[in-house]
Chain A
């Protein structure tokens, strides 16, 4: 993988506690799967940074190699890959997602 892309990804996920690599922006998601994760994060009142992979082909390919994960969206919490849409949805339904945020010191709306 391109080293500068790798560096940009590392920098983003280490500087910002919650980062969502997605298609479109949090306000205008361009894909149903990305929209679903935005909706869950918004519901939990979790502040996050959305990175639009559609406007950055390097990141779009690079993030898949970075995490060895073939699809977008991808959610990172404190630098760690938590999951894509299916996993986030499942974890939200079981309450595990809220626990992950709380364990990592990220405020969640009760």
Chain B
């Protein structure tokens, strides 16, 4: 089952309101995305914790409706 990019962005922003999110549909099939998420909430967190926060925001969809989401996360650079 596919999921559209706007939905992914909305879910991420609901949990991380300050996030800058860019999403690319890698194959144009609505099933393989790459997302780059930048948020202040990531500051001081490990990569594993940052990705866990994004997965949390997607509320169980990752690994189910959403098959592949290549993630890159980070805090804004000053």
Report A's interface with B, CB cutoff 8 A.
33, 64, 68-71, 81-87, 90-91
Chain B contact residues: over half helix, strand or loop, or mixed? mixed
**In the complex, A90→B51 CA distance in Å?**
13
Which residues from chain B contact A71 at a C-beta distance below 8 Å? 62-63
**In the complex, A67→B47 CA distance in Å?**
14
Contact yes or no, A87 B63, CB < 8 A: no
> Can you list 9 A-B pairs with a CB-CB distance of less than 8 A?
A33-B68, A68-B52, A69-B51, A71-B63, A83-B51, A86-B71, A87-B47, A90-B72, A91-B47
Q: How many positions in chain B have a CB within 8 Å of any CB in the partner chain?
A: 13
Name the distance in Å between A20's Cβ and chain B's nearest Cβ.
15
Report B's interface with A, CB cutoff 8 A.
47-48, 51-52, 55, 60, 62-64, 68, 70-72
Which residues from chain B contact A81 at a C-beta distance below 8 Å? 48
Contact yes or no, A70 B62, CB < 8 A: yes
Which residues from chain B contact A87 at a C-beta distance below 8 Å? 47-48, 51
Contact yes or no, B72 A69, CB < 8 A: no
Name the distance in Å between B24's Cβ and chain A's nearest Cβ.
14
